[in-house]
């Protein structure tokens, strides 16, 4: 478990195309010197400012599109930056969207509390890599890079629902 991954270039000669760099680094967010995964997750949350983005159909659609795009772009980045490169954060973006997608089925509107809980639980599950996330993380491929964060997003969404329901129960006097 690494909280801060060192950025490295393993193959100076391999050139990655602009599209792969732009997508996999989530508009260059992955090149932030420290905690790039955390910033990638925050970048994913910025899309909530787009009206209608919290809609389950929208979240599902963009998650699927960027999951497959992320696999392809991440594969190219691995050749230059090595296994699970820290500059690749599209996986955190998609994982964050998966968490929000699950929450959108239980909560028709989004609040700051929901966003904060989702963010914190996603970062937790992304870091600890509970099975099968750790299995995918060890795959050392674009699919593995993306899939471990999808699993973290699923765990995050489910646990966030439980936490929010418990908090709502206490606020409403049922706790």
What is the C-alpha to C-alpha distance for residues 83 and 142, in angstroms, rounded to an integer?
Answer: 9
Give how far Cα 124 sits from Cα of 77, 92, 96, 118, Å. Answer: 25, 12, 12, 10
Residue 175 in domain? no
Is there a domain that residue 103 lies in?
A: yes
Residue 44 falls within a domain, yes or no?
yes
Indicate the DSSP class of residue 7. P
- Domain membership flag for residue 41: yes
83, pLDDT greater than 90? no
Count of beta carbons in the 10 Å neighbourhood of residue 18 = 7
Position 8 in a domain:
no
Query: Per the domain annotation, does 65 fall within a domain?
Result: yes
Residue 5 lies in a domain: no
> Quick one: pLDDT at residue 1?
44
Indicate the number of domains in the chain. Answer: 1
Q: pLDDT band for position 15 (50/70/90)?
A: confident
Q: Which domain holds residue 101?
A: 18-170
**What rounded mean pLDDT belongs to the chain?**
89
């Amino acid at each position: 478990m690494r909280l801060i991954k060192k950025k490295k270039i393993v193959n100076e000669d391999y050139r990655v195309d602009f599209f792969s760099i732009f997508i996999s680094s989530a508009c260059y967010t992955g090149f932030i010197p420290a905690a790039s995964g955390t910033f990638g997750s925050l970048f994913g949350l910025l899309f909530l400012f787009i009206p209608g983005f919290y809609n389950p159909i929208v979240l599902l659609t963009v998650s699927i599109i960027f999951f497959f795009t992320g696999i392809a772009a991440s594969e190219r980045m691995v050749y230059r930056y090595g296994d699970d490169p820290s500059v690749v954060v599209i996986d955190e973006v998609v994982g964050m969207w998966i968490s929000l997608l699950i929450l959108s089925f239980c909560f028709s509107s989004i609040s700051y509390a929901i966003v904060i809980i989702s963010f914190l639980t996603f970062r937790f599950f992304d870091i600890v890599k509970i099975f099968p996330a750790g299995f995918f993380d060890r795959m050392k491929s674009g699919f593995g890079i993306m899939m471990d964060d999808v699993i973290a997003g699923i765990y995050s969404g489910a646990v966030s629902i439980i936490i929010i329901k418990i908090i709502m129960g206490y606020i409403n006097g049922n706790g």
